[in-house]
Amino acid sequence: MAEITITETDQRRSTARILDVREDFEVAEGMIPGALHIPMGQLQARLGELDPAVPVIAVCRSGNRSAAVADALNGVGYKADTMAGGMPGPAQDFPPPKPRPALWRQQQTQGNHPTSPERTRQTMATADITQQSFAQTLEDNDIVFVDFWAAWCGPCRMFAPTYGAAAERHPDITFAKVDTEAEQALAAAANITSIPTLMAFKDKTLVFSQPGALNTTGLEEVIQAVKNLDMDKLRAEAAQQHA
């Protein structure tokens, strides 16, 4: 995956598909003419809208989401790059495709600054955990989702944008990731036999475990179910079964 400039993006518009992965409310203010809009969390379900024979240039507001999407697409056989630095939102910042050289005027906005809160929030949406930090992560957080993955796993890479988008929608939940190649002992202790595998813990108790890449709707259903789970009732039922 390469990070390309706004000018390079403009020059490649006739040979590449521009993929805007921002949310609906963001693109409502303006989008590159001719771009395909697929919000990051919907990528897995709508992958068929992309032609594997056509290179992709992913764009978002700050460059973080588009980089994750480009990485995921490259992992399943597409040729994808990301536009560095992101793009401004207002429609008036987007001149017509011609005349060149620029798609739009590059804005010095807070959202595009590499150390802005928006960029930091997206980068920190998910957290990598290890065997050493696993137990403490469960101890410190009420609800923890854990994605067991590997870099060579195509379905894992496709699930990553969906998982990252869910983390942004639910800042009250900890979304963790375990690299099964780097953390083989932890993966073995968790009985991971297929990846990706998603686990959910509430009050330090495992309440969900399932292999396979969920789509946005499926993941959201699991999240809501875990949030609504009555742990006191669950523990009481477990105690009765073992009585």
Which residues belong to the active site?
Answer: 153, 156
| CA angle, residues 61, 156, 25, in degrees to nearest 5 | 25
- Per-position DSSP letters for 26-58, written without gaps between them: HHTT---TT-EE--GGGTTTTGGGS-TTS-EEE
Query: Whose CA is closest to 9, among 115, 108, 94?
Result: 94
Which residue type is seen at 118? Answer: E
Q: Between the CA of residue 58 and those of 77, 80, 146, what are the distances in Å?
A: 15, 7, 26
State both tokens at 196. 């990706």
